[in-house]
Amino acid sequence: MSESAVNSGRLEATATHGVTPALHHQFEDIEQQREAGNFGMWIFLATEMLFFGAIFTAYIMYRVMYYPGFEAGSRGLEASFGATMTFVLLASSFTMAMSVHAAHAGKRRMLLGFLFATMLLGIIFLGLKFTEYTHKWHEQLVPGLNFHPAAESLRGAPEHAVELFMCFYFFMTGLHALHMIIGIGLLGVMAILAWQGKISPENYNRVEAAGLYWHFVDIIWIYLFPLLYLVGGRY
Partner 1 sequence: MSGKTPSVRTYSLVFIALLLLAALTTGIAYVNLGRFNTVAALAIAAVKMCLVALFFMHLWYSPGLTKIVVLAGFFWLALMVSFILADVFTRSWISPPGPFR
Smallest separation (angstroms) from partner 1 to the CB of 84: 10
Question: In the range 49-108, which residues lie near partner 1 by CB under 8 A?
Answer: 49-50, 53-54, 56-57, 60-61, 64, 79, 82-83, 86-87, 90-91, 93-94, 96-98, 100-101, 104
CB of 227 to partner 1, least distance (A): 8
Cα gap 155→44, rounded to integer Å: 42
- Determine if 219 is a binding residue for partner 1 (CB under 8 A): yes
124 scored as a contact of partner 1 (CB under 8 A):
no
Decide whether 142 or 180 has the Cβ nearer to partner 1. Answer: 180
Q: Using the rule CB under 8 A, is 42 a contact of partner 1?
A: yes
Report CA 40 to chain centroid distance, whole Å.
Answer: 17
Three-class DSSP labels, the chain: CCHHHHHHHHHHHHHHCCCCCCCCCCCCCHHHHHHHHHHHHHHHHHHHHHHHHHHHHHHHHHHHHCHHHHHHHHHHCCHHHHHHHHHHHHHHHHHHHHHHHHHHHCCHHHHHHHHHHHHHHHHHHHHHHHHHHHHHHHCCEECCCEECCCHHHHCCCCHHHHHHHHHHHHHHHHHHHHHHHHHHHHHHHHHHHHHCCCCCCCCCHHHHHHHHHHHHHHHHHHHHHHHHHHCCCCC
Residues 12-31 binding partner 1 (CB under 8 A) are 31
Q: Which of 24, 108, 155, 215 binds partner 1 (CB under 8 A)?
A: 215
When asked if residue 34 is in the footprint of partner 1 (CB under 8 A), the reply is yes
Q: Does the protein bind partner 1 through residue 137 (CB under 8 A)?
A: no
- Contact between 167 and partner 1 per CB under 8 A: no
Question: Which C-beta is closer to partner 1: that of 6 or that of 65?
Answer: 65
Is residue 70 exposed (0-12), middle (13-18) or buried (19+ Cβ within 10 Å)? buried
* Span interacting with partner 1, options 133-141, 172-180, 188-196, 214-222, rule CB under 8 A: 214-222
Residues binding partner 1 (CB under 8 A): 31, 34-35, 38-39, 42-43, 45-46, 49-50, 53-54, 56-57, 60-61, 64, 79, 82-83, 86-87, 90-91, 93-94, 96-98, 100-101, 104, 211-212, 215-216, 218-219, 222-223, 225-227, 229-231, 233-235
